[in-house]
Amino acid sequence: MPIEIAMDGHVAVLTLACPKGNAMSNAFIAALNEALDRVEADAATRAVVLIGKGRAFGAGLDLKESHGFDEKAQAAFVEAFDTLFARMFAFPKPVVAAINGHAIAGGCVMACAADWRVMAAGDFMIALTEVPLGIPFPVGALECARHAIPREHWNTCILEGRKLAPFDALKLGLVSRVVDGGELLKVAKARAHELAELPAGSFARTKLDLRDEGLARIRERATESRANFVRHWFGPDASERRAAMVAQLGAKGG
């Protein structure tokens, strides 16, 4: 299975082990939804840790797959990944993101959807690169980012899409801790166990209440924002930048 599930007491550790650095393809979305279905339905699971393998937590959208989509296929794709982000944003159990490596675009959004973020030290980058790529955020992705990032750093992180090294991300409040890579999973699991001790029902209800404005915006703006994403995706700015990135990936054998 491209997403491995291992139990540590009441904590489920989901290891993202999908191709291309966990690039978000239709297959990745289906696999993560299936894993979330399993841990959500399991009463013995009280908290979740998300961690990647290798040097990537999440590489963002699978550009080589989606670059060939027509408008209908792209509309279905944005609905699928933005619905996943919205689901993670409202997930009833505590989620800890153990950011083991690069977290770019959709990978960063996945981390933002979590309740707590810890990142490994190293030559890794975390960034929301949607605007520099020429595409607006679909609303599910934007609400994850809006909730996770302190308001005073929205311009830097969301509008400018600045790429941040781990300790820079810590300074801006995008992550809560930076630790040595060898300690990452240990720290993430310890925090997840702390959160797992909280009463499950009151945690889930209060989490929804804290995010109710964002969830309302997701419900109200999903159709419009996803259509805007598709329109810009096929616009000249995004098409040119995307083609250049796909060519670069092809040259690297990615």
Q: Find the angle CA(176)-CA(181)-CA(185) to the nearest 5 degrees.
A: 70
Residue 34 annotated among the catalytic residues of the structure: no
Neighbours of 103 (CB within 10 A): 33
- Residues 6 or more apart whose CB falls under 8 angstroms from that of 88 comprise 36, 95, 110, 113, 114, 144
DSSP letter, residue 91: -
Query: Residue 89, by phi and psi: left (phi above 0), alpha (psi -120 to 50) or beta?
Result: alpha
Residue 82: closest CA among 249, 254, 240, 217: 217
DSSP letter, residue 61: B
- Choose the catalytic residue: 4, 130, 183, 213: 130
Buried b (16+ CB within 10 A) or exposed e, 193-216: bebbeeebeebbeebeeebeebbe
- Tell me the residue type at 91: F
How far apart CA 139 and CA 24 sit, in angstroms, is 17
Catalytic residues: 130
